[in-house]
Amino acid sequence: MENKTLLEVKDLKVHFPIQKGIIFKRNAGFIRAVDGVSFSVRKGESLGLVGESGCGKSTTAMAIAQLQSLTAGSVMFEGTDLTALKKEDLQKMRMNFQIVFQDPYSSLDPRMRAIDLIAEPMRIYAKRGLLALTESEIEAKATSLMDVCGLSPTFKGRYPHEFSGGQRQRIGIARALSLEPKLILADEPVSALDVSIQSQILNLLKDLQQQFDLTFLFIAHDLAVVEYFCSRVAVMYLGHIVETASSQQLYHDSLHPYTQALLSAVPLPDPINARKRKRIILEGDVPSPSKIHKGCPFVERCPKAMKQCSLTPPRLKEVSPGHEVACFLYE
């Protein structure tokens, strides 16, 4: 694995205004969906971004792809700040990173054939003069991608409703690969699939990573899936990164109380070990992302909270090589 940094996110913030009033609308605050997230992804690795629903994972991915406006921060891709690019330059740069969406049905146009869904990105970029492929070459490449992703080329004339959920996700993956990207933003790519199909898609993504030298930002809430697929993991809570570590470090030596609570809820296949493990139950609900937090965002639910946790936000600090945690217990 190369150590070159492919993607670097610095102090990323995405705030949505809360508007009140029917005629004369006014801002009554902000939803802080992402509130100061920083991380990097090295070429060739798979970084898992995990956390509860609503913690800002998908918003982070949309902001990285410049499909969501940023409130503050920067997104550096191979040293280029995507937020500073003009529209034409951004369109060209987008060939290097593509998204695989969560729902393989709603992300596909129901009126388009499978072959056209996969070929569409290539046709768009060829029309813009950014891709030197003829129509016959585009169709041949789309057909080849179907085969690579485990779909019979004889299915190329079918429409999305004629495929199963797993097959539709394979079409989405083939479409993401059509422009030969370096980075895949996988937004919960298996959560809408049956458990029996999830392993097939994960194995396919692993094979494609080796075959096409891909880098993944893999978003999920299923920690078992992330442990299997990702080499490194970043844990999000309420718009903040609270811990990052290698997959092995995180699952065997987690430090942040929130990470420990998440891992205690992961089902274990061995019933004896499952009975021995102590489940950590967090009290209360996740606070509203519109609430301004002076201290740690997890302080209201943390079983180990101290006085200073309510006064100052902890910084993400490296406590061992490659292992960072935002918690005053390790200051």
**34 strand-pairing partners:** 14
Domain residues for the domain of 292 are: 258-331
Question: Which of 178, 187, 180, 170 is CA-nearest to residue 213?
Answer: 180
Q: How many domains does the chain have?
A: 1
> Is 175 within the bounds of a domain?
no
Q: DSSP states of 121-134 as a string?
A: HHHHHHHTTSS---
From residue 54, alpha-carbon distances to 51, 221, 295 in Å are 8, 10, 20
> Is 71 within the bounds of a domain?
no
Residue 1: its pLDDT value, please?
A: 42
> Is 320 within the bounds of a domain?
yes
Apex 131 CA angle, 211 and 151, nearest 5:
40
> Is 13 within the bounds of a domain?
no
pTM comes to: 0.91
Beta strands in 105-255 (DSSP E): 183-187, 215-220, 232-237, 240-246
> Is 274 within the bounds of a domain?
yes
Averaged over successive runs of 10 residues, the pLDDT of the chain (331 residues) comes to: 82 91 77 94 96 92 94 95 93 94 89 96 94 95 96 95 94 96 95 89 96 96 91 95 95 93 80 71 82 88 91 93 94 81
